[in-house]
Structure 1
Amino acid sequence: MAPSTNNGSPHGPRRVLRGADRAAFAVALVERLRRAGVAAGLTETGDLIRALASTSTRSRDEIYWIARVTLVRRHADLPAFERVFAAVFDDVTPLPLTRDAVPAGGGEDDVHLPVPDANPKGRANGGLPWATLPPPVEARDEPGEDDPSVPEMRPSALAALAERPFAELDAARLEALAGVLAAELRRWPSRRSRRHAVDPRGHRIDLRHTIAQSRRTGFEPLTVVRRRAVRRPRRAVLLCDVSGSMRAQTDAYLHLMRAFTTVTRAEVFAFATTLTRLTPALRRPGMREAVTHASEVVTDRFGGTRIASNLAALLDSDHGNLLRGALVLIASDGWDSDPPERMTAAMSRLQRRAHRVIWLNPRAGEPGFAPKVAGMAAALPFCDLMLPAATFGDLVVAVRAMLGAHSSSYNAI
């Protein structure tokens, strides 16, 4: 193909692609070339777009040589390129997107110019292979208040439930909100353990494995084996008050405890007058079945409260060592039938053994609350945090406090 120098115009070379979308033109041209068998890909398309963007206007001859240099990689593709280029630029009279094709009244700033005789899909039968005209949009009036097509912006259903008291939530809503707590616990912190593992990025030399490797090289330590400390999730021990004064909060707290058992290394205990281990029951697959089974395991539910005696029983039991270095969470209103002196002794032992002690009190968020109950007043000096826990929003704040976030908002709900 021998490109003409003036494209049949007595006034010199005709300028094309003025005001056109060069990227759309390049993509459409490459699509036609690929259908014709020319091996042009994303790299060639990008080269063509950058070359076309180098100046504001281009003549037909310049576009020909730019497209040929950037798109044709093999000599065998040249005949197909010549046919496609001729079909695009030679079959339309006058040539679209030139100064001759601009309708009367068009200005220099026209961006979307008409493409005459172009079929809807822009194929080779007519027009150029691209169209920058936007699709027609039917004008309509501004939507009114009664227009059903415009949705009303409302807060999330979970956000509305987060501020409601536990007694107003049914089992389905409790399960939905418990899923939010489980999602928060995915970022549970880890701690450095005493065990080490072989790791090339470790900072310490593993002497034992290095010597073992040197046996193969005449006891010359050519290969240095390194190790690092193994990190494990910090253990959590949770104690839930299931006495009569905690009847409205028990189910919600059990959902919180169940979320801990499924995400972290947690041990869960329920107490009223006696201490009951709930970890095996809460690790059941179904959330509702696990909470129901845990409620059935507790034999003294909705009875009296002996917080200090149950804490001492846990410290003296076989599970007492689980408290060492653990985060201890106590969910109770602080009403205790044991004397305050016994609560002070039990909490003092617990504080020395645990990593942190956090107390969730459903009445702590009420206006004018003060820990005047004897059991709560005796336990408070040994707690790192005491947080309100009357709604699921309070529980999310408590979980974030345990994670170290100390956030006062709960955008996750």
Structure 2
Amino acid sequence: MSNTVKVQPDLTFVKELQAVGGDSLKKCYQCATCSVVCPLSPADSPYPRKEMVWAQWGLKDRLVNDIDIWLCHNCGTCSDLCPRGAKPGDLLSALRNMAYRNLAPLPIIGKLMSSSAGILPLAAPALIFYGLIWVIMAGKFGTMFPTFEWNAADHAWTAVEGGKVVFGGLFPGDYTIDPVFMLVFAFMIFMFYAGVRNMLKAFDAQPKTFIVGRKEEPCFLSCLIDTLQYEVLQHTQFFDCKDEQTDELDEKRATGHRWLMFAFIALAVVTGVVASGHWGGWLLRNLGITGLGDIVSAIGHTPMPFYHPIKLLALVGAGLGVYGLLAVTKRRVNLDQAKQSSSWYDWYLLAVIWTVFLTGIGAMVFRVLGVGLLAYPIYYVHLVGVFMLFAYLPWSKLGHLVYRTVALSCAKKIGRIPMGADK
């Protein structure tokens, strides 16, 4: 006698899934074309066919705990070849979007990202805070667009007529930028920790795959290192999605993602050097090691001349970022909406990253030209953009840098996918 399985559909979940990009799932009639053509789907219990069934049935628990949604890299092959236009790739993308919104605490942040009406509430904390700082400093200097010169004795910028445009003079980094973004970084790390903890708890119920010839299950750390080496740094999963029908836009998507990642790494190094130089020099001087403190401070002193190695690295990072953004944006703009679609959630992240890079470049250009009337407002928008990018990272699609990395590592540990070196 067979066992009875009780199915409890969640209709609210189905509607929410349709709202974040899975609106065509009811067209699926289970032909399994999607699972057959996917170059990444494992032979045992392949995706995305089973996810299409679960979604149609409203099996929320199955889907939100499904490790396979993280194995898909959204190449779109399954959606391109679906005879019914059910867009299975969009379904997996929508499921990841739901995960980004709900893995970490405060899911209201993810919900705000899903609608254009959420932009102002998300931007409000930084808009108000830095707007007040600007007004206060303008009252102190008697102008909204002051200029400065460096006071070496006090290690500070002094407002003068006909000086330089200096962002750190109007928005003092020691009090209004560094402390704020240190708190933002700590907040981001804690929320990622909570999100990853929830993810790992959900994966506990995942079945393990028996692999013939596998001597022992690798430790999570070795799987994590393998994932960072292959899937993150080399983007092997993106390139594994290719076949003879892969077009130029898909090729550029993989390259664009990788260059954008390297851009963030380069700019993170720049930020780290500047912060370490500034605060390291401050600490050494307060410890009475004045000479060494001055040297360390000089390493991170801003604004830097264009021949400074750290400045050159920043320019390279900016260039790589813009190139990567162009490639990724061009592909999304040219998507065949009948086969693959984009939601507001997708465009939100691209818009924020474009804002960060363009305002960063624009602020630098107008600062060098000495046009404070444009440099300061653009820098103000840049601060707001950077805040929105990092403060809300655990709920945005960029959170895949953490969540997908953890999921791929878990999938390797249980044998769902092979280690990078074994492919």
TM-score for both structures, normalised by structure 1: 0.23
More strand by proportion, 1 or 2? 1
Which has the greater radius of gyration? 1
Higher relative contact order (CA 8 A, sep 6+): 2
More helix by proportion, 1 or 2? 2
